[in-house]
Structure 1
Amino acid sequence: MFGVPTLRPFLTAAVLCLAALSSANAQSMISVKGSTVNMRTKPTTASEIMWELKRGYPLKVLQRKGRWLQVVDFEGDRGWVARSLTGKTPHYVVKSKTANMRSGPGTNNRIVGKAQYGDLMRTRAKRSGWAQVQSADGKKGWISQKLLWGF
């Protein structure tokens, strides 16, 4: 059929693009901004506290509900945190039993320290699958991103 092209393909493409952007936005990473933040079972301060999270702890956002964020941590625990107590300062959590901290991004660099499962590390730089991190005691080093969870 000849004539004016239908808008259906364009509308379908636009809807799919918006859905993809919405999904990508919902799956963003955040970190705890407050000194200690409660992860709760429901999006209300009256709900049960599951965990107390330290400043910098990275979380993946699953959905937003008003002033609350549903999040998941590196162990797969899901809960709710107040949006106002979160930020975008990048951090990692060590997800392997131990991780070598190296002087540069690669296994050919010397080991300058060790990190343990669950250690919280401030992200300083990223390069070729490696992250330069800083521990709570100030020690800096590079760790393979395969051994880390966060951003």
Structure 2
Amino acid sequence: MTLRRALFACTVSLLLLVRSVAAAEMVSIAGEEINMRSGPGTEHEVLWKISDGFPLEVLATKGDWLQVQDFEGSSGWVHKKTTRATPHMIVKANRGTAQQINVRREPSTKAAVVATASYGVVFKTLERQGTWVKVEHGQGVTGWVEGSLLWGF
């Protein structure tokens, strides 16, 4: 009987460990001017508005509401219907500076630069190759960005 309990305890511990190291659930905003609220319901204060594609990490759920956190660590609540699973990324590099990141033709620092982007610019994620991410901007620009410069995956 004690062996069975020990095996059960090990199994539960392993499941908890696997769950804790699992990748964070990410969503992106599906619509223009979505309200980020202070609590799970329309009766709660609107903290700010977020735009289409903005990536968020899901922290918890309550009914049809998601408690989420953005790339700067700010959190709030959004309704599930205002989100989608389509992966998006946001530029997290160079906060507080005018410096921009390069969007390149190929996944290499030697590849031609097709565009630049500032802190806070949102991209749709198309694919990943090693540490590089192929992204598309809403204005049609497509290219590769080194993953350490982005947040959302």
What TM-score do the two structures reach when normalised by structure 2?
0.87
Partner of 2:144: 142
Q: How does 1:1-40 map to 2 (within 5 A)?
A: 6-20=3-17, 22-23=19-20, 27-40=24-37
Q: Partners of 1:146 and 1:25 in 2: how far apart?
A: 19
Which stretch shows the higher mean deviation, 66-75 or 14-23?
Answer: 14-23
Q: How does 1:11-90 map to 2 (within 5 A)?
A: 11-20=8-17, 22-23=19-20, 27-90=24-87
Report the alpha carbon displacement of residue 22 of structure 1 after superposing the two structures with TM. 4.9
Of all paired residues, the percent bearing the same amino acid is 39
Partner of 1:110: 112
What TM-score do the two structures reach when normalised by structure 1?
0.88
Q: Partners of 1:101 and 1:54 in 2: how far apart?
A: 22
- Structure 1 residues 119, 106: closer, same or farther in 2, change over 3 A? same
Which stretch shows the higher mean deviation, 131-140 or 24-33?
Answer: 24-33
Find the residue that maps to 1:6 and give its secondary structure.
helix
Find the residue that maps to 2:3 and give its secondary structure.
coil
Q: Retained in 2: the 8 A contact 1:27–1:63?
A: no
- Provide the aligned length of Structure 1 versus Structure 2: 148
User: Equivalent of 1:96, from 80, 93, 97?
Assistant: 93
Q: Partners of 1:127 and 1:25 in 2: how far apart?
A: 21
- Structure 1 residues 80, 30: closer, same or farther in 2, change over 3 A? same
Q: Partners of 2:125 and 2:109 in 1: how far apart?
A: 19
Q: Partners of 1:84 and 1:139 in 2: how far apart?
A: 28
Q: Retained in 2: the 8 A contact 1:26–1:62?
A: no
Partner of 1:128: 130
Q: Retained in 2: the 8 A contact 1:39–1:80?
A: yes
Aligned-CA RMSD value: 1.9
Q: Partners of 2:47 and 2:148 in 1: how far apart?
A: 27
Report the alpha carbon displacement of residue 9 of structure 1 after superposing the two structures with TM. 2.2
Report the alpha carbon displacement of residue 50 of structure 1 after superposing the two structures with TM. 1.2
Q: Retained in 2: the 8 A contact 1:56–1:91?
A: yes
